[in-house]
Amino acid sequence: MPKFEAIRRVAHTPEQMFALVADVETYPQFLPLCEALTVRSRKERDGRTILVADMSIGYKAIRETFTTQVLLKPEENTIDVKYIDGPFKYLSNVWRFDPADGGCEVHFFIDYEFKSRILGAVMGTMFDRAFRMFAEAFEKRAGVVYGAASA
């Protein structure tokens, strides 16, 4: 039931931001709470890529791993993430990258609920804070990878 949505304008192209978010293996290097990420499988079909990945998150003494299916749609500059297994009842995450003057608008949406009310109570506030930091983390990463303003 918690949802979070953010739209940020960045000074990079939609294609650059798509590539940055699609590069899931690098998440542990810069993404808050992400301790590890392993891609189980990768399939290419009709110009799209489907990944199945395990992400391990941690906060203080709590560690959880969950599995998602990541659908990369470069022709639409969108990334859809569907939940497969782990501590959630459900999780849905969508990224969209729209052209804008001097760069692009990054649309980030996530909707999720933990299976356990106790875990939800413990992790809920921290997850909320982390999702608010995600957009900023990707924006900073784009600066590192592509330079300060390369749109």
Residue 150 has pLDDT above 50, yes or no: no
The CATH homologous superfamily for domain 3-145 is START domain (3.30.530.20)
Joined together, the tokens standing for residue 126 give 């921290």
| The pLDDT value given to residue 151 | 43
The model's pTM: 0.89
Average pLDDT over residues 24-37: 94
| The pLDDT value given to residue 100 | 95
Residue 149 has pLDDT above 70, yes or no: no
Torsion of CA 70, 130, 112, 82, to 10 degrees: 0
Under a CB-based contact definition with an 8 Å cutoff, are residues 108 and 6 in contact?
A: yes
Q: Kindly give, in sequence order, each residue whose CB lies less than 8 Å from that of residue 145, ignoring residues fewer than 6 positions away.
A: 16, 20
What span, in angstroms and rounded, lies between the C-alpha atoms of 43 and 1? 31
| pLDDT band at residue 101 under the 50/70/90 scheme | very high
- Type of residue found at 24: V
Domain spans of the chain, in order of start: 3-145
| pLDDT band at residue 40 under the 50/70/90 scheme | very high
